[in-house]
Chain A
């Protein structure tokens, strides 16, 4: 890991090279050590290291961005020159506002765990060995990945703002497949390798894979659904994408536009963005160096806030919430560390209280059908079951859903009592299980 001092030197040197009126420099990246297994053996073992330096300069309102993965001496100077050249030959960005004044952005000291980054490929192989052995013994096929790594984000601007944060990461994703179209899934993410419950998760998935064999087709229609956290995550990602980006909001493209302060969801639904929650741990500042704090997006079903960076904040006449993405951030700002607050119910009790419904392990390959109505479509994956009389009664073929996330989060029957961490498109998310009524399935995956 590039340490704080070395990073600070590189950033300061880049700023010294810049003749621009204002300059922001970001250094980000890290290492990834991934052990991938397929068909019950380790199929791919990789070590990757990547850092990128991004320079944004402004002459008046003429802005340019350049980035590079070489940042010693001449290369550093060249990337600054490139950004300047781009800016000087550009047209003014009328929404550009001045870089931020320096302020305190405290560094989290316990986000970087040496044991996690030092975890070796041999240790990972040893950890996986009993799982793969069991998988073979049970006649199953296992695939997945165990990864450790680190990430660093540091930024400096020409007014003297400096912020630095490094974090470690550990991830386990696991698919168990049984001979007769059985499939199950487990995943776990943390900044601490010690927390990754590889054995337990794999064991549970193997049992589920055996149960999910010989699936039958259910009739499409509206069902009560119990969604595992690994299914809920897909709905929350699209809730965020379609609702809470400041640029899309300002352009009246989101389902939240004109609905600020309105209650759209069940009152148990509260969504926050907060990088200080353990499950979604992240830097306490954004790509402009703006400090982050907990931001309520939905509170007891009511739309409370959307995310802003300084450019969109200026344009909308509000304050930045600290959600700038990597320059040039053409999509505008978005929440990046999202938590759907848990409720009171256990996953088992959600199933037990369901007379007739469908249990979904994952929703997969979802995409937008209608942005304003927030309708999305996708498929179930890795274990879909009919629930009858409070029990998983039979495995089902994967089903296609078409549902509005607005309706989904209004139709809440129960909310899980524990949140689980996931990695998403814009960053990290943590969600509990959910029980929803009237969830629409429109098709089945089946060869004619």
Chain B
């Protein structure tokens, strides 16, 4: 049976057997990961998976069943299982879920991709990585070097009982370098363009050469060696300038997660946690200073959290989260939106075919301001600047955080005066964002990919994005972590 008929069969069967709503997602995911280490191939892995996930609403309760086998008989078994699971949920103290009917959407959507990454020869990809990695290995004092590439193509067919049939193909690519220097008492790494695997975007292979890995390889390797003998990050209250993937992660952890409405409603209480951004705060709470504006934008070109339609068939959207510093909006699904008189803003996403959709970040972007980075530095008396993340930690309500970077630049009297190692900072989310007094302009803005966001039970990993430039914060406690 062709996929379209099979998905339709699953939905129709579910309705016949008592579901008031049903959706089916058939997914075909192809990935390739290349890892180079010290001039040697450390791993080449190609992966393919196919499966169907069926979600049904029966007597106001959800059931979900997934199966890798796309035979008609197996899909019918999965539908039966989903129906039975929904009934098992329904008979116990449940609050009936009501989904408003939606107009059907029948469409095909593809993320922009000029060069299919799976059409590029493996040698070419490896040669690209080896060439960049070799530049790092030339630097004296380097203990080991790594280069990696991650390629991803997901085809998805979504069919639901509202009559929607949505076909999507999303291609994502990414690559990065890191160099590590080691002494008997210290380990220091530098990465490019970002730590934890590099930069990832919704794009074809055309992205890879544009990342300029080779041009930056020698610099980051030298920095890693220099960090071993660099002075420690000073401790105290200072001005902090964040950029790159460090600012992206700050947005992710202290804004992206607490605005997930399912967290607010307690759905993640047993795992990821809840949120300090409770419903009475919406439109009524100064989250940050007046220059802080954040949006959830699943339409942002190139974002790792960009798509055409979410996994409930809601079109991708751009909506305000923080407006002029005020907290104004959540990430919502069709269900969490019911009863709060707020509409879904299209953020229900599932990991593959084997998981039920949950509320997820898309691209949570800190909109650019009007500063030049140079001006931000020049008007900083005593500060630290951090761009690449090394470590992150935040509490289950998303208030108290501590982050560490790979490298810090110390700023004195408006000038960068040197490098510091093990830079860390800590704060409380709203206090921190209210101290934001400068955001760099569009010229410094880019969307960073975060491919490893964990949430849900059973745990799901999502690929999300964060557009940021640089931002400056006042009176931040830095140089923490080495408690005596």
Q: Which residues of A contact B93 (CB under 8 A)?
A: 40-42, 129, 132-133, 136
Question: What is the CA–CA distance of A262 and B63 in the complex, to the nearest angstrom?
Answer: 54
A86-B123 in contact (CB<8A): no
Closest residue of A by beta carbon distance from B421: A370
Question: What is the CA–CA distance of A52 and B45 in the complex, to the nearest angstrom?
Answer: 13
Closest 8 CB pairs of A and B: A328-B43, A45-B85, A440-B483, A121-B88, A143-B269, A445-B400, A89-B122, A369-B481
Binds A, one of B312-320, B374-382, B426-434: B426-434
Flag whether B458 is at the interface (Cβ < 8 A). Answer: yes
Flag whether A3 is at the interface (Cβ < 8 A). Answer: no
Question: What is the CA–CA distance of A12 and B303 in the complex, to the nearest angstrom?
Answer: 43
Binds B, one of A286-294, A299-307, A359-367: A359-367
Which chain A residues have a beta carbon within 8 Å of chain B's beta carbons?
Answer: 32, 34-36, 38-52, 63-70, 79, 82-83, 85-87, 89-95, 120-122, 124-125, 128-129, 132-133, 136, 141, 143-145, 147, 173-175, 177, 222, 251-253, 257-258, 327-330, 364-373, 375, 377-379, 381, 398, 400, 402-403, 440, 442-448
> Quick one: which of B421-444 are within 8 Å of A by CB?
422, 424, 426, 428, 430-431
Indicate which residue in A91, A366, A398 contacts B400 across the interface (CB closer than 8 Å). Answer: A398
A25 → B minimal CB distance (Å): 14
B450 → A minimal CB distance (Å): 15
Flag whether B447 is at the interface (Cβ < 8 A). Answer: no
Closest residue of B by beta carbon distance from A121: B88
Indicate which residue in B51, B66, B92, B430 contacts A447 across the interface (CB closer than 8 Å). Answer: B430
Task: Tell me which of B184, B394, B481 has the highest count of chain A C-beta atoms within 10 A of its own C-beta.
Answer: B481
A49-B67 in contact (CB<8A): yes
Q: B59-76, CB under 8 A of A: which get 1 and which 0?
A: 001111111100000000
Q: Which residues of B contact A91 (CB under 8 A)?
A: 40-41, 126, 130
Closest residue of B by beta carbon distance from A129: B92
Q: B441-484, CB under 8 A of A: which get 1 and which 0?
A: 00000000000000001100000000000000000000011110
Indicate which residue in A44, A136, A328, A442 contacts B480 across the interface (CB closer than 8 Å). Answer: A442
Flag whether B140 is at the interface (Cβ < 8 A). Answer: no
Task: Tell me which of A32, A400, A440 has the highest count of chain B C-beta atoms within 10 A of its own C-beta.
Answer: A400
A445-B45 in contact (CB<8A): no
- A-B contacts, CB under 8 A, total: 275
B64-A45 in contact (CB<8A): yes
Closest residue of B by beta carbon distance from A67: B47
Q: B246-288, CB under 8 A of A: which get 1 and which 0?
A: 0000000000000000000111011101001000000000000
A371-B92 in contact (CB<8A): no
Question: What is the CA–CA distance of A160 and B35 in the complex, to the nearest angstrom?
Answer: 29
Asked whether A48 and B45 contact (CB < 8 A) given A38-B266, A43-B267, the answer is no
Question: What is the CA–CA distance of A41 and B481 in the complex, to the nearest angstrom?
Answer: 41
Asked whether A48 and B43 contact (CB < 8 A) given A89-B122, A144-B270, A175-B270, the answer is no
B92-A42 in contact (CB<8A): yes
A402-B270 in contact (CB<8A): no
Question: What is the CA–CA distance of A50 and B400 in the complex, to the nearest angstrom?
Answer: 37
A77 → B minimal CB distance (Å): 13
Indicate which residue in B88, B130, B402, B483 contacts A403 across the interface (CB closer than 8 Å). Answer: B483
A39-B402 in contact (CB<8A): no
A36-B457 in contact (CB<8A): yes
Asked whether A369 and B95 contact (CB < 8 A) given A67-B47, A91-B41, A379-B400, the answer is no
A32-B482 in contact (CB<8A): no
